[in-house]
A and B are shown apart, each in its own frame.
Chain A
Amino acid sequence: MFGRMSKSYDVVVVGGGPAGLAAALGALESGISRVLIVEREPEAGGILRQCIHSGFGLHHFKEELTGPEYAERFITKVIDRDIDVVPQSYVTGLAVDSEGTRLVRVLSERGGLSTIECRSVVLAMGCRERTRGAVRIPGSRPSGICTAGLAQKLVNLDGYLPGERAVILGSGDIGLIMARRLTLEGCKVEGVFELMPYSNGLTRNVVQCLSDFDIPLHLSTTVAMIHGRDRLEAVTVAPVDEAGQPILEKGWDVPCDTLLLSIGLIPENELSLNLGIELDVVTGGPVVTSTMATSLPGVFACGNVLHVHDLVDFVTEEALRAGRFAGEYARHIRRPQDTISLVPGQNVRYCLPHTLSPDRTHTIYLRTKKKLQPCLLKVGDLLERKLRFVVPAEMIHLTIKPELLERFYEDRLQIDLIPLTE
């Protein structure tokens, strides 16, 4: 029930975005009944609430939905199945008592500080946006610089414009979608500037969000300087050299009152860090086993808190699994320990989960370090698959069936992406 919070649960899910909603439903599938979602916003749905554009659900629902529609399908199920959702509440800590009960500390305006008992916990806190500090753009510090996601919230939920004349740094999908969104609302978008020699967004978004509106996309170009005393007045943009450093003498000034930053997302692991959970330096998220279990017993992770996804469909899929394993754990079912380390090899930035067990089917997610067209995906000597096209912005997923691992007795399985010549 929305707004209800009891003293004790089987599973507590931290975060009511797409990952948390699916994890809660996954937990029910494992045969438990008492699940709580702790959500910091006034309603569930997470970032999908402000992603009003369509393009969600093609994998999971085989139809194209907007973000709010995708979220609503899960929210409806969660409420129908009598999962509790407590809004405007934050998990501030977690402890384990002598009997192995997990004690979740929840802070909220209505309930003050309360302690909830449960058998297992799913971390589904999502991610946050990288800010100006992270890319270290020199210059003044006027108002008018904000992340694309904050601008999206302002426009789509609160009904305000972040400015009237915008420059967008970073060609990730949020940046592209905001370029169109602001244009539709009557703002002038001066251009999208991308450090890399290729766009980090989907081709469809480059065409439909930029080309359709004659918004220029400048590749291998960055914002090198910020000008303006009180409010942003202009930015200096400049092409970059091979090391990604701006070549200032080739730069030019673009007058604008708004700079939107769409420069990447970082898993939100403050809580995980406080709990001493082991994190992967590459993903920024927890190290997980094939049951999505973190290094802290009984604590599972999924969605963007684990690694930043590009499609919500995969978040859902991953979270359903994490929820099921968390539910099993709450029922005292223990899976055999994983025996195989999954390690990234040639051209692979990361692959998840970090370990595998030979006894069941695994879904593996990986990302390439660079654009390869075409390439050979190799999973040890077990599996080879030709891929026509891989880019860092697009996660690769594959399934490994237990048959494949039946006669695999090593403790290390490497994944490579080997470039092929056409």
Chain B
Amino acid sequence: MFDVAIIGGGVVGCAVARELSRYHLRTVLIERYAEVGFGTTKTNSGIIHAGQQTAPGTLKGLLEVRGNAMFDELQRELGFGFRRCGELVVASSEEEIATLHRMKSDGEAKGVRGLVMWDREKLKREEPNLSSHLVAALFAPTAGVINPYEFAFALVKCAEQNGVELRVGSPVTSIAKGPDGFVIEAGAETLKAHFVLNAAGVHADQVAAMVGAADFSIHPRRGEEYLLDKRLEGIVQRLIFPVPTPASKGILIIPTFDGTIMVGPTAQDQEDRFDVPTTFEGSEAVFSSVRRICPAIDPRATIAEFAGLRAVSNTGDFIIGQSAVPGFFNVAGIQSPGLTASPAIATHVVDLLGRSGLSLVERADFNPEVAPPFRFAQQSNDARQALIATDPLFGKLVCRCELVTEAEVNQAIDHGACTLDGVKFRTRAGMGRCQGGFCTTRVMQILADRLKVPFHEVTKRGGDSWIVRPMPAPGPAPDDQTEEG
């Protein structure tokens, strides 16, 4: 019997799991995919918002500003990629300048620090590659960029180190409320818990419906992102936003933590909760929009494109709290600025649980820190030499584009990576220019050896995402004309 079962290993579920691990509790985190962070989190734009863009008086507005302030300490404790690069909302007309002023006063009212208006000259000096037709900008120094998947991986690693149990590849198929708690069917397992937290992202209304607690609905809104070649590094110093419209924050230029430029996202409502295609229209929308702001951004510099789904709720705000079913809590509708708000959501949820009867006794041995993964590429030559002395596999390069070594891949696997994508998002192997052309078979071999599975059972991201088939063993020839239709 668990005290708390969290359904959904996205960044919200992971943050709540770590927060709960501060207390003497038995907690289980249940994830449908092969690894945590493989849903919306993996495809997030990776922005820690300053907070001036969200309407005042909303729960998301409150938790956004609170969450933003928590990231420095979290970064120190967990060592994920995060940098406060600041953001600029750029105006291209006098009318838009008025919007910037309104955003500034709204932001200040919410406690957003350091907001400054920049005139054309200041903007030109600080971001010389932006279009000369831009007339002004609102600068928010507290905004930053983050590797969202690294954040999720570090959160869950910390939670596990403090006793949280993790179930991956375990889609929840039913939840029943019994006399002494909830009975959850997850994958091949039956789990029991006193409290259930529904952090199931785009599936949250379906999960809530399993216990009759669906008084809201979730509508997936797809966003496409385009990742550009590293040669564009430095083209912008800060996050660049157009003036937002009611529907969306617009299409952004994101100087990612890893030094690449990412542009996007689009905003397209859809019914399907799994399909995440990129489209011709999306690409057109992204590049025509960003090129109005930064003409030097060239679609031909694209090295990868992907899409993700936002979990948009019918209420327009975050849905956080106990449902009509006592003990079943929703943490739903967490769209932008959900990543920014996630640590504040976690403390808020734990507070609500405590007030609903969950006994919160702090553990004396709670360890808030996890060692960040060693990144060979980021080390000085002396430090590299020292790393090789501790493990010769730091001398064995696996990914040549991103300079990832076998020791780092091993470490990623030991920390839970069991798929090619898992290794990629933990180590960057396969994220560079050649997009895995060189390292794919190397990483597959290491996964196979370390997880003791046959090479051909290694998948891209679990499920039916197989990569190769074994060749038939020597024997009689198969019929030549087997395949038809």
Seen from chain A, the residues whose Cβ lies within 8 Å of a Cβ on chain B are 40, 88, 90, 92, 105, 107-113, 128-129, 131-134, 136, 138-144, 146-147, 149-150, 153-155, 158-165, 185-186, 188, 225-227, 229-231, 270
Contact = CB atoms under 8 A, between A and B. Distances in A.
The 9 nearest A-B residue pairs measured at CB:
A143-B460, A160-B468, A230-B464, A109-B396, A112-B388, A230-B465, A131-B435, A188-B483, A143-B465
7 contacts: A105-B381, A113-B388, A128-B434, A133-B435, A158-B441, A231-B465, A270-B400
Nearest to A164: B469
A154 B438 contact: no
Given A112-B395, A140-B276, A229-B464, 15 more contacts: A112-B389, A129-B437, A131-B303, A136-B305, A143-B459, A150-B437, A150-B440, A158-B455, A160-B468, A160-B471, A161-B470, A185-B471, A227-B277, A230-B459, A270-B400
Interface size class, chain B: 35 or more
A147 B76 CA distance: 40
Contacts of A163: 468-469
A134 B298 CA distance: 12
B435 A132 contact: yes
A161 B435 contact: no
Interface stretch (B89-97, B138-146, B278-286, B318-326): B278-286
Contacts of A149: 437
Contact of A133 (B275, B302, B456): B302
A188 B482 CA distance: 9
Nearest to B482: A186
Given A150-B441, A160-B455, A231 B466 contact: yes
B475 interface: no
B461 A140 contact: no
B292 interface: no
Interface string B456-485: 100111111111111110000010101100
Contacts of A188: 483
B461 A161 contact: no
Contacts of B436: 131, 150
Interface of B: 227, 274-280, 282-283, 299, 302-306, 381, 384-385, 388-389, 392-393, 395-397, 400-401, 403, 406, 433-438, 440-441, 455-456, 459-472, 478, 480, 482-483
Contact of A40 (B385, B397, B437): B397
B190 to A, nearest CB: 26
A262 to B, nearest CB: 12
Contacts of B276: 140-141
B388 A138 contact: no
Contacts of B467: 143-144, 162
B393 A109 contact: yes
A230 B275 CA distance: 10
A110 B392 contact: yes
Nearest to B460: A143
A155 B456 CA distance: 13
Contacts of A131: 303, 434-437
Given A138-B282, A139-B277, A231 B395 contact: no
A303 to B, nearest CB: 17
Contacts of B483: 164-165, 188
Contacts of A113: 381, 384-385, 388, 395
Contact of B275 (A128, A134, A140): A140
A160 B469 contact: yes
Contact of A134 (B303, B464, B472): B303
B468 A161 contact: yes
A258 B322 CA distance: 47
A136 B299 contact: yes
Nearest to A188: B483
Nearest to B231: A273
B478 A186 contact: yes
A139 B381 CA distance: 41
Nearest to B432: A270
Contact of A112 (B303, B392, B459, B469): B392
Question: Which one of A40, A165, A229 has the greatest number of beta carbons of chain B within 10 Å?
Answer: A229
A85 B403 CA distance: 22
A270 B401 contact: yes
Contacts of A226: 277
